């Protein structure tokens, strides 16, 4: 769903890892919209956001949700607060619908979720995911994805001999290379990195994403 970007959001929060330029906003002020770089071939857009490593082994859901909220405000809730709102337990956050509900409650915008039950995903599901990412980033909103990363299909840094069930935030895209910028809270990950969109599309099934 397309959302209205509130025009009062005019100050920029400096992104982590040097990926977003500009001065940091003062406390309680909201970051501006996505930074845009265009070329003859395509467009790169990156949201302002705050990256944090997850504070427990099962708080990837709260950490990814916090990243998404930080794209809209300079004062997002703590991971502990979000874990309570999400109903996260020692086994993790059960379903992507809990993330969309908490994002709606904290941001006051109509976040939804979409499931991708087919593994591998259909072409329609891939195209819809790409459209949702582009529309959300363009409007200044991050996407939260629930992923399953088995051996042989993992983001960089993941333990190669185990399947990782995880939540990450999508905070940018580049149509020049068909890549997406991932904010990842796992200590073993690179933290913030570009990932081929086709790989992201194969990591989400049979879970889903909040957009």
Q: Please indicate, yes or no, if residue 32 is contained in any of the structural domains.
A: no
Tell me, what's the pLDDT at 75? 98
What's the pLDDT tens digit per position in 82-122? 999 999 999 999 999 999 999 999 999 999 999 999 999 99
pLDDT at 10 over 70: no
**Coil/strand/helix, residue 119:** coil
- Alpha helix positions (H), the chain: 60-70, 79-86, 96-107, 123-139, 197-203
Domain count, the chain: 1
Q: Within 10 A of 39 (CB to CB), how many other CB atoms are there?
A: 10
**Residue indicated by tokens 């977003």:** 20
Q: Please indicate, yes or no, if residue 31 is contained in any of the structural domains.
A: no
Q: Please indicate, yes or no, if residue 33 is contained in any of the structural domains.
A: no
Q: Please indicate, yes or no, if residue 2 is contained in any of the structural domains.
A: no
Residue partners of 5: CB distance under 8 A and separation at least 6: 33, 139, 140
pLDDT band (50, 70, 90) for residue 31: low
Q: Please indicate, yes or no, if residue 11 is contained in any of the structural domains.
A: no
Predicted TM-score (pTM) of the model is 0.84
Tell me, what's the pLDDT at 98? 99
User: Residue 180: phi, psi to the nearest 5?
Assistant: -125, 150
Q: Please indicate, yes or no, if residue 171 is contained in any of the structural domains.
A: yes
pLDDT at 76 over 80: yes
What does the mean pLDDT of the chain come to?
87
Q: Please indicate, yes or no, if residue 117 is contained in any of the structural domains.
A: yes
Measuring CA to CA, how many Å separate 69 from each of 5, 74, 82, 143, 170?
A: 14, 9, 10, 10, 12
Least confident of 41-45, 78-82, 175-179, 204-208: 41-45
User: Residue 9: phi, psi to the nearest 5?
Assistant: -80, 90
- Which carries the bigger pLDDT value, residue 7 or residue 93? 93
Handedness of CA 99, 156, 197, 34 (dihedral sign): positive
CATH code of 145's domain = 3.90.70.10
Q: Is residue 42 a contact partner of residue 175, using CB atoms and an 8 Å limit?
A: yes
Q: Please indicate, yes or no, if residue 132 is contained in any of the structural domains.
A: yes
For residue 2, what are its two tokens? Answer: 């397309």
| Nearest-angstrom CA–CA distance, 167 and 185 | 8
CA atoms within 13 A on the CB side of 124: 5
Report the percentage of the chain scoring pLDDT > 70: 82
- Give helix 96-107 / helix 79-86 axis angle, nearest 10°: 120
The domain of 200 spans 16-25+41-210
């Amino acid at each position: 769903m397309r959302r209205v970007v509130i025009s009062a959001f005019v100050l920029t929060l400096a992104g982590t890892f040097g990926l977003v330029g500009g001065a940091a906003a003062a406390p309680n002020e909201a970051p501006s919209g996505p930074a845009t770089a265009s070329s003859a071939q395509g467009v790169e857009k990156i949201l302002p956001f705050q990256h944090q490593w997850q504070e427990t082994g099962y708080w990837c859901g709260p950490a990814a949700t916090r990243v998404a909220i930080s794209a809209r405000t300079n004062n997002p809730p703590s991971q502990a607060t979000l874990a309570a709102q999400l109903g996260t337990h020692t086994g993790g956050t059960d379903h992507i619908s809990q993330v969309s509900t908490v994002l709606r409650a904290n941001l006051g915008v109509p976040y939804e979720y979409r499931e991708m039950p087919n593994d591998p995903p259909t072409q329609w599901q891939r195209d819809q995911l790409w459209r949702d990412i582009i529309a959300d980033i363009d409007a200044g909103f991050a996407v939260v994805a629930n992923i399953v990363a088995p051996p042989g299909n993992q983001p960089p840094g993941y333990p190669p001999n185990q399947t990782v069930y995880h939540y990450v935030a999508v905070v940018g895209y580049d149509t020049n290379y068909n890549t997406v910028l991932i904010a990842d809270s796992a200590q073993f990950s690179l933290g913030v990195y570009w990932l081929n969109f086709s790989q992201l599309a194969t990591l989400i099934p049979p879970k889903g994403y909040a957009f």
